[in-house]
């Protein structure tokens, strides 16, 4: 599967469940292919993905656009860290 997709150069987030994380500036973070929200507070958000957990710390965090597999977190983001499942 991986070999075929490498040949056709299809982005990984399209064919696998690997998340794609896009950070625009310090105030916007878009996570594609997420699984669910584990915890959400004003200053802290834990977002579950298929390969691990993304922790976002900051102030006034808002979950802006949410669809089945995209989520846009806005607010003053202080730091981001990952917890790998392996």
Nearer to another protein, 22 or 65 (CB): 65
Q: What are phi and psi of 81, to 5 degrees?
A: -140, 160
By beta-carbon proximity to another protein, the closer residue of 6 and 43 is 43
Min. distance of Cβ 36 from another protein in angstroms? 4
Contacting residues toward another protein, per CB under 8 A: 36-42, 61-68, 72
Least distance (Å) between residue 9 CB and another protein: 28
Q: How many CA atoms lie within 13 A of 71 on its CB side?
A: 21
């Amino acid at each position: 599967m991986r070999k075929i997709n490498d040949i056709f150069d299809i982005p990984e987030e399209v064919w696998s469940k690997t998340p794609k994380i896009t950070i625009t500036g310090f105030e916007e973070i878009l996570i594609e292919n997420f699984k669910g929200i584990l915890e959400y507070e004003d200053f802290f958000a834990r977002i579950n993905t298929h390969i691990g957990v993304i922790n976002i710390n900051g102030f006034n965090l808002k979950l802006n656009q949410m669809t089945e597999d995209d989520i846009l977190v806005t607010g003053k983001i202080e730091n981001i860290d990952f917890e790998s499942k392996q």
